[in-house]
Amino acid sequence: SHSEPITIVEVGPRDGLQNEKGVIPVSVKAELINRLAQTGLRNIEAGSFVSPKWVPQMAGTAEVISIIQRLPNVQYSVLVPNSKGLDGLLALLPTHSPDSSAPPPPPISEVAIFTAATDAFALANTNTTVAASLERLAPVASAATANGLRVRGYVSVAVTCPYSGKVDPVRVREVTSELVNIGCYEVSLGDTVGTGTPATVGEMIEEVKKSVPVEKLAGHFHDTYGTGVANVLASLRHGIRTIDASVGGLGGCPYSPGATGNVATEDVLYALQGSEYDVRHIDLGKVAEVGWWISEVLGRQNTSRAGRALWAR
Ligand code: HMG
Ligand code: MG
């Protein structure tokens, strides 16, 4: 039967680890990325170059991406909030005259920039309004593109805002459009709080599709209410083919109180088995092993239902 390949963007090393309480050694972060790259996952968000005062957990990203293995079939990306973040990354990438005795440069081929559908959330997360953040991000996107990096965008609080409640899908459409206009090849629609349902997520996607081709959209669901997998399936039915997920269900946003981790990568892979959406290039068993490994290392509960069930077998 006809099946279509689905892209899974593994965000555990960034969205997952940014919300952990304890200090995570650089070596653990790098090992997580290396283990994930061995599972068949082709897109891994490896960390972020944000202010360590705002998100201390991501402070070691420069070191992390300098020591990870480079697998040729994997696209590695990092999140940047401003030019300072992009400059931090560019400083690690090869210059015009590569010195053959120098260590190989980090394998980063993509940056992710982020804004929100509400001013209240943008202010809490990045200390600016949505409009001001887009102004700040436009030159970041051009500079990244000029340096050969792909630029991905995120719209946070695409369904509900922890500070201002239900979000108007029209606003999500406008902000998504702006991110495409400033150079994003893809925009990930973030249900940051995880209140979305197939109905509200579907309504939001249909509205965004009025201005942005669905090929440029991705779905990013937090699993707070247990609707993560349902929302993934709903977004696939609405035409989306790229899904963000986090191994072991790691994660949460420090500026979204009470929100839990992303939909677990294992749960998404399990749910898509045998469907018309093809994820066979990714080894569910191996991802589940990584989920258990990182949960044990962090001393946290593995919140992936499929991961737990596979382990118990
Ligand atoms: P600010 O305080 O307005 O900025 O923060 P500032 O320019 O005044 O800088 C404050 C300090 O941070 C300065 O240091 C800067 O140098 C430094 P000081 O002079 O005081 O020593 N700084 C930086 N350091 C390292 N890297 C940088 C950087 N920029 C400034 N890039 C700022 C504004 C945007 C920097 C801050 O608000 C910030 O870093 N926010 C990031 C918050 C964050 O990472 N949130 C989580 C990621 S988004 C998310 O999780 C949602 C998503 O998953 C989708 C979804 O679920 O919806 C993507
Ligand atoms: Mg998120």
Tens-digit pLDDT profile for residues 230-284: 999 999 999 999 999 999 999 867 787 778 899 999 999 999 999 999 999 999 9
Catalytic residue positions, numbered:
253
Which atom number of ligand 1 is nearest to the Cα of residue 48? Answer: 44
Query: Where is 90: in which H helix or E strand?
Result: helix 83-90
CA distances from 224 to 15, 65, 121, 228, 253 (A): 14, 30, 18, 8, 12
The response to whether residue 156 sits with its C-beta less than 6 Å from ligand 1 reads yes
Question: Of 51, 118, 231, which is best to mutate to test ligand 1, by the most ligand atoms within 8 angstroms of its C-beta?
Answer: 51
Which atom number of ligand 1 is nearest to the Cα of residue 116? Answer: 57
> Could you give the ipTM of this predicted complex?
0.98
Higher pLDDT, residue 20 or 30: 30
Q: Flag whether pLDDT at 69 surpasses 90.
A: yes
| pLDDT tens column, 51-63 | 999 999 999 999 9
The response to whether residue 84 sits with its C-beta less than 6 Å from ligand 1 reads yes
The single-letter code of the amino acid at 170 is V
The response to whether residue 295 sits with its C-beta less than 6 Å from ligand 1 reads no
Q: What is d(CA 93, CA 109) in angstroms, rounded to the nearest whole number?
A: 10
- Residues lining ion ligand 2 (Cβ < 5 A) are 15
Q: What is d(CA 19, CA 23) in angstroms, rounded to the nearest whole number?
A: 10
DSSP reduced 3-state for 245: strand
Q: What is d(CA 295, CA 248) in angstroms, rounded to the nearest whole number?
A: 7
CA 285 remoteness from chain centre: 22
| pLDDT tens column, 231-243 | 999 999 999 999 9
Q: State in Å: Cα 2 to ligand 1 middle.
A: 44
Q: Flag whether pLDDT at 97 surpasses 90.
A: no
Q: What is d(CA 188, CA 7) in angstroms, rounded to the nearest whole number?
A: 12
The single-letter code of the amino acid at 20 is E
As a whole number of Å, the end-to-end CA separation of the chain is 30
Which is nearest to 260 in space by CA: 232, 301, 294, 293? Answer: 301
For 44: left if phi > 0, alpha if psi spans -120 to 50, otherwise beta; the answer is beta
The single-letter code of the amino acid at 32 is L
Q: Closest residue (by CA) to atom 17 of ligand 1?
A: 51
Q: State in Å: Cα 100 to ligand 2 middle.
A: 38
Identify the pLDDT of residue 204: 99
Strand 217-221 and strand 108-116: the pairing is unpaired
DSSP reduced 3-state for 175: helix
Identify whether the C-beta of residue 152 lies closer than 8 Å to the C-beta of residue 183: no
Q: State in Å: Cα 262 to ligand 2 middle.
A: 6
Of 17-31, 110-124, 250-264, 283-297, the poorest mean pLDDT is in: 250-264
Q: Closest residue (by CA) to atom 53 of ligand 1?
A: 15
The response to whether residue 118 sits with its C-beta less than 6 Å from ligand 1 reads no
Of 16-20, 59-63, 100-104, 120-124, the poorest mean pLDDT is in: 100-104
